[in-house]
Amino acid sequence: MSSKLNRRRFIKKSLQISAGSVAALHVAGARLFAKDKGEKVVTAQSGAAPKATLPQGRIGNLSVSRVLLGGNLLTHYTHSRDLKYVYNLTAHYNSEEKIFETMALAEAHGINTLSIHNPPGIVDMLKKYRLRKGGKMQWIICSTAPVEPGMKAYTDDVKALVDEGTDAIYLWGVHSDRLIAEGKIDLIGQAVEIAKDLGVPSGVGAHDLRVIIECEKRKIPADFYIKTFHHHNYPSAPKPDELKGAYNEVPGYWCRNPQETADFMKTVEKPWIAFKVMAAGAIPPQDAFKYVVENGADHILAGMFDFEIAEDVLIANKILADAKRTRPWRS
């Protein structure tokens, strides 16, 4: 009995020490980066809020930070290719309490908006953060309800999202890609109008550039676009003969034609939120953020763990301050 208890105490103590060491490394890393940049970074462990800001732009009636918090890591959807353990690792790390810490850190560093889809339980968790934790984070959410003639299921879901406090709605890129492939552009227009009629900014998401091209050609009154955008200069990027669809998991790419995207978006006068900018972690933020900002994106949607936020915001602020753009800011 005594031996078992001693082993348990030893294991428990070892885990506490390991957890503390990891946390200390995260804090130390953030502080070293901040010192190098001449700025102060306050981490979640400190319990205090830094005086950080980010530039903002307008999307409809919303003031939206130039960097948004991406939702995939919060819903544990990591696009981890064939590394199956990464999904489980993220699911274990990003507990509900850790997600609350992540959103609080994002707000403290000037990120005032997140974008996320709505699997079961997500909206309830976001509401809890607002109501119980005092969070002010704005929500841009895409409904995953079916988009089909009649639009009943989609309308009901979008109405419920707005009633629950969603600040802006966009048509999920998975839906819009399929609708374009099937020649059902009219349903994209109907989806946009449903959210607009409910009084919130209404956008269209896409992996496939044809979605944006057709929306512009048909003058669909979207308030903003959320379009994938990243270059192909990373080791696991697709070879030219591997570029089949608009996106692919292995090899991992989510923007098939970055130069065409940049060129076409120069002609678009609506705000553009670029997502998958780091190709699901394959491109470092310094490289990714500079590329998308200087090639025309108005906002960066970035998936971040809590310990990445301080550094990513410092990087983004420097890039935003020095950016050389040919496309005017559209938000």
- Tens of pLDDT, residue by residue over 299-311, are 999 999 999 999 9
| Dihedral over alpha carbons 178, 182, 183, 186 (to 10 degrees) | -60
Confirm if 69 and 304 have CB atoms less than 8 A apart: yes
Domains identified in the chain, total number:
2
Q: Could you tell me if residue 48 is inside a domain?
A: no
Range of the domain at 60: 53-322
User: Rg for the chain (alpha carbons), in Å?
Assistant: 21
Same domain (yes/no): 79, 8: no
Q: Could you tell me if residue 147 is inside a domain?
A: yes
Same domain (yes/no): 89, 227: yes
Q: Please state, as a whole number, how many other Cβ atoms lie within 10 Å of the Cβ of residue 257.
A: 14
Summarised one tens digit per residue, pLDDT across range 256-289 is 999 999 999 999 999 999 999 999 999 999 999 9
C-alpha distances out from residue 181 to 143, 174, 178, 226, 284, Å: 19, 11, 5, 18, 32
- The residues, ordered by sequence, that sit 6+ positions from 223 with a Cβ below 8 Å of its Cβ are 59, 60, 168, 196, 201, 202, 203, 270, 271
What's the CA gap between 218 and 220, in Å, rounded?
A: 5
What's the CA gap between 48 and 195, in Å, rounded?
A: 37
Same domain (yes/no): 189, 308: yes
Res 328: pLDDT: 98
Q: Could you tell me if residue 280 is inside a domain?
A: yes
Specify which residues 64 forms β-bridges with. 57
Q: What is the mean pLDDT of residues 97-101?
A: 94
Same domain (yes/no): 68, 29: no
Its pTM stands at: 0.85
Same domain (yes/no): 83, 21: no
Least confident of 78-82, 255-259, 310-314, 323-327: 78-82
Same domain (yes/no): 4, 144: no
pLDDT of 46 above 50: no
User: Within a 13 Å sphere around the CA of 156, how many CA atoms are in the beta-carbon half?
Assistant: 6
Same domain (yes/no): 89, 37: no
What's the CA gap between 302 and 68, in Å, rounded?
A: 6
What's the CA gap between 316 and 14, in Å, rounded?
A: 37
Same domain (yes/no): 20, 65: no
- pLDDT bin (cut points 50, 70, 90) of residue 81 is confident
Same domain (yes/no): 192, 246: yes
Which CB contacts under 8 angstroms, 24+ apart, belong to 86-90? none
Same domain (yes/no): 304, 185: yes
| Structure-block tokens of residue 297 | 């994106």
- pLDDT bin (cut points 50, 70, 90) of residue 86 is confident
